[in-house]
Amino acid sequence: MRWHPKGYGGHRRDPEQVKREGWREQGVLAVSLEDARLTWPERELVRQLGEKLYGPRPSDEGGRHG
């Protein structure tokens, strides 16, 4: 028989469930630029929001190629 301290055992939530609950309960949105469910304009909006709030990503600092 295994013994786990309270709060350390049981079922682990998958990342999508954590993101869904974060949005619904706290209004926090976690989005990947590579999420296949997003269209190009949606990914571009997410990228622009991220840059506005947090600055450019290290891979984006050299300018855009494309």
Residues 6 or more apart whose Cβ sits within 8 Å of residue 2: 9
In the chain, which stretches have pLDDT less than 50?
66
Q: What is the per-residue pLDDT for 23?
A: 95
Q: Where are the domains of the chain?
A: 15-54
> 0.95 cut: is pTM over it?
no
For residues 57 and 61, give the distance between their C-alpha atoms in angstroms, rounded to a whole number. Answer: 7
**Percentage of the chain with pLDDT > 90?**
65
Residues 6 or more apart whose Cβ sits within 8 Å of residue 23: 29
For residues 21 and 62, give the distance between their C-alpha atoms in angstroms, rounded to a whole number. Answer: 36
Q: What is the per-residue pLDDT for 3?
A: 75
Q: What is the per-residue pLDDT for 8?
A: 76
